[in-house]
Amino acid sequence: MRQVDTRGLSCPQPVVMTNREIKSGHEGFEILIDSHASLENIARILKKHGLNYEIKKQDNYTIYHVKR
């Protein structure tokens, strides 16, 4: 599964990377996020594109597992 690792990055870079992955058309991917602002912004983008996702909490970051 493809991963978009946005840990350590500040907005708008995680949003740009997520949009790029959405446009790539891959069946599914994961987004690794450690910024609260990015969590909210990326959730909005995924909902806007009608994508389903599950959230997994790790020690220092969150994973959005995205399915088309």
Question: In sequence order, what are the beta bridge partners of 32?
Answer: 5, 63
Domain of residue 30, residue span? 2-67
Structure tokens at 59: 């020690």
What pLDDT, in 10s, does the model give residues 1-60? 899 999 999 989 999 999 999 999 988 999 999 999 999 999 999 999 999 999 999 999
Number of structural domains (the chain) is: 1
C-alpha dist (Å) from residue 46 to 14, 23, 38, 52, 54: 13, 12, 12, 7, 11
pTM: 0.92
CATH number at residue 38: 3.30.110.40
How many whole angstroms separate alpha carbon 22 and alpha carbon 25? 6
